[in-house]
Amino acid sequence: MKVIIDTNIYIATMRFINVDRMLIWKLLEEEITIVLTDFIIEELRENFKKKYKPEEWGRALDLLLRFLGTGYIEVKRWEEYSPYLEEAKKLTNEKDAPVLAAAMLDDIDYLITRDKKAFLENKKLKNSPLRDKIYSPQGFLEHLRQTR
């Protein structure tokens, strides 16, 4: 199983012991492949640069990627998912389309996100076959409990 975790979940793990941290642990424990994209890594870099001192952000990002790397990870590049970009732009905001486009790849099973506006409560997505791929962290943990 391959799962894309949206940037907002990695950032939310900074807040406190929460469902987002539980989700990452669960994915590693269940040996589910976490798929990163070059776009998500770039966003993480920008977020970490803003949150940490200049001498700390690189180490923080490195630690996060190393921790994810203790499980199964895969990186999707722009060249792979950009063919789906135009279709994705019809379903969500332009700036969110790179994440949705990657989730449209055939080998991606799920997109887990906290973004209600762009994904979780987006009416266009609710009326598309992609709706079965998109979950909140809590919703995905529940889905795993029921299906595994």
Given the rule CB under 8 A, which residues bind another protein? 7-8, 11-16, 28, 31, 39, 42-43, 46-48, 50-52, 56, 59-60, 63-64, 66-67, 70, 78, 82, 85, 94-96, 98, 115
Instruction: Report, in Å, the least distance between residue 136 CB and another protein.
Output: 13
Instruction: Report, in Å, the least distance between residue 109 CB and another protein.
Output: 20
Instruction: Report, in Å, the least distance between residue 111 CB and another protein.
Output: 15
Closest CA to 109 of 74, 138, 65: 74
Cβ distance to another protein smaller for residue 70 or 129: 70
- Do residues 9 and 127 touch, judged by C-beta distance below 8 A? no
Instruction: Report, in Å, the least distance between residue 74 CB and another protein.
Output: 18
Cβ distance to another protein smaller for residue 59 or 90: 59
Cβ distance to another protein smaller for residue 2 or 71: 71
Give the dihedral of Cα atoms 148, 18, 104, 3; nearest 10 deg: -50
Instruction: Report, in Å, the least distance between residue 123 CB and another protein.
Output: 19
Alpha carbon distances (Å) from 99 to 11, 49, 63, 67: 16, 21, 23, 22
Rg over CA atoms, the chain: 15
Residues paired with 134 in a beta bridge: 111
List all residues 6 or more positions away from 89 whose beta carbon is below 8 Å from its beta carbon.
97
Cβ distance to another protein smaller for residue 49 or 131: 49
Cβ distance to another protein smaller for residue 1 or 28: 28
The helix, strand and coil proportions of the chain, stated in percent and rounded to the nearest 5, come to: 60, 10, 25
